[in-house]
Amino acid sequence: MLQPVRVRSSGTRPGRRTRWHEITEILNRPISQELLARDLTRLAYVAKDGTPRSIPIAFTWNGSQIVLCTSKNATKLTALQKNPMIA
């Protein structure tokens, strides 16, 4: 579990301590720990020609969203714009 290195008194900066505790609570959740421990997952989608695809893809988690990492000209982007359903 993550522990704060230093906690300022709540009087020095209003709202800062509460925010730190909110962040710590989110990061200590089991799903957060699972997402932070990985940087590669698999993305399944339907290609432009209608065939199924399952590819490894890098990702990061920003605390509220999973962000997939790919190049701007990747063929999967065109396919996903046409059919955004994924698994």
Q: Residues with Cβ < 8 Å from 59, sequence gap 6 or more?
A: 38, 39, 40, 41, 66, 67, 68, 69
Domain ranges of the chain: 39-86
Question: Which of residues 66 and 44 earns the better pLDDT score?
Answer: 44
**Band of pLDDT at residue 35, cut at 50, 70 and 90:** confident
pLDDT confidence bin for 56, thresholds 50/70/90: very high
Query: Can you tell me the distance from the alpha carbon of 84 to that of 87, in angstroms, rounded to the nearest whole number?
Result: 10
Q: Mean pLDDT for the chain?
A: 80
